């Protein structure tokens, strides 16, 4: 089984965000970076599938030169080889442009299965996977919590709302977007880190830049403020007003 895993480099959750001068993204030069968490679960699931069924795991990421850091990390965890889709524009690219570039890079790999994380920790649109599936002409399923491969078919467990789940069967080749928590993550061993230095990272440039469908107009940090509101009247009236505020103004119920 040949499995392609799409991964992304995002800023670490512990980093104190700073907006760049143009107010369109964070200050890259100040940021610290890590592997997108849902993508880490997608990578782990690909390694487990390879252990059960054999084959090859290929990781691919789009972005500037620094994304080779997460590609090396994926190789150290056990991936066989990597593809780097070069381009600074992919740092803030929308799902359509990113999926188009990824599809161009992996279309000749003859993948049986393509895995992505459910969404990225920075933009969080959860759209790259489904757009990529359409670009590649593959069947796809989202929010996957369990994967079983049986010959040329898959049986997957999807997470629905309200604590419900759904089992779906689909043919391969297929694309799945993986939910965080599907498995227990492994970490790179010293042996894996040393082996990763000898594994291939093939750099490619998109043949054409797909037009962006979305544009980031402005990025800003939320302003923190405190406000006190006194609710008077009888206990019954105060209770009704409190419920209205929580429901209509604060929107927590």
89 located within any domain: yes
Q: Are 59 and 83 in contact (CB under 8 A)?
A: yes
Give 76-114 pLDDT, tens digit per residue.
999 999 999 999 889 888 999 999 999 999 999 999 999
Is residue 227 located within the same domain as residue 183?
no
Provide the domain limits for residue 145.
2-204
Quote the CA–CA distance of 111 and 124 in Å, as a whole number: 25
Is residue 151 located within the same domain as residue 39?
yes
Please classify residue 110 by burial: count the beta carbons closer than 10 Å to its beta carbon, then call 0-12 exposed, 13-18 middle and 19+ buried. Answer: exposed
Give 190-226 pLDDT, tens digit per residue.
999 999 999 999 999 988 776 778 888 888 887 777 7
CATH of the domain at 182: 3.40.50.620
Q: What is the pLDDT of residue 209?
A: 74
Is residue 81 located within the same domain as residue 182?
yes
Q: How many domains does the chain have?
A: 2
Give 49-69 pLDDT, tens digit per residue.
999 999 999 999 999 999 999
209 located within any domain: no
Q: Whole-model pTM? A: 0.84
Is residue 240 located within the same domain as residue 134?
no
Q: Are 59 and 84 in contact (CB under 8 A)?
A: no
Residue 189 has pLDDT above 80, yes or no: yes
75 located within any domain: yes
53 located within any domain: yes
């Amino acid at each position: 089984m040949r499995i392609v895993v799409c991964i992304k480099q995002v800023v670490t959750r512990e980093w104190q965000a700073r907006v760049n001068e143009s107010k369109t993204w964070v200050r890259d030069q100040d940021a610290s970076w890590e592997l997108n968490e849902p993508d880490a679960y997608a990578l782990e699931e690909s390694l487990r599938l390879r252990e059960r069924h054999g084959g090859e795991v290929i990781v691919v990421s789009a972005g500037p030169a620094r994304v080779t850091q997460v590609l090396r990390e994926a190789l150290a965890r056990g991936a066989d080889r990597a593809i780097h889709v070069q381009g600074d524009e992919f740092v803030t690219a929308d799902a359509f442009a990113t999926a188009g570039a990824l599809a161009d890079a992996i279309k000749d790999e003859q993948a049986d299965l393509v895995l992505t994380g459910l969404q990225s920790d920075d933009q969080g649109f959860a759209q790259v996977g489904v757009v990529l599936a359409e670009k590649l002409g593959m069947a796809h399923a989202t929010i996957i919590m369990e994967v079983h491969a049986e010959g040329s078919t898959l049986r997957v467990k999807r997470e629905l709302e309200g604590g419900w789940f759904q089992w779906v069967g689909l043919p391969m080749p297929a694309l799945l977007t993986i939910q965080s928590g599907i498995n227990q993550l492994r970490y790179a061993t010293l042996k894996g880190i040393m082996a990763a230095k000898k594994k291939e990272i093939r750099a490619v440039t998109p043949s054409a830049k797909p037009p962006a469908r979305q544009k980031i107009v402005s990025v800003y940090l939320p302003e923190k403020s405190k406000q006190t509101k006194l609710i008077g009247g009888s206990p019954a009236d105060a209770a009704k007003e409190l419920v209205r505020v929580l429901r209509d103004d604060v929107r927590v119920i």
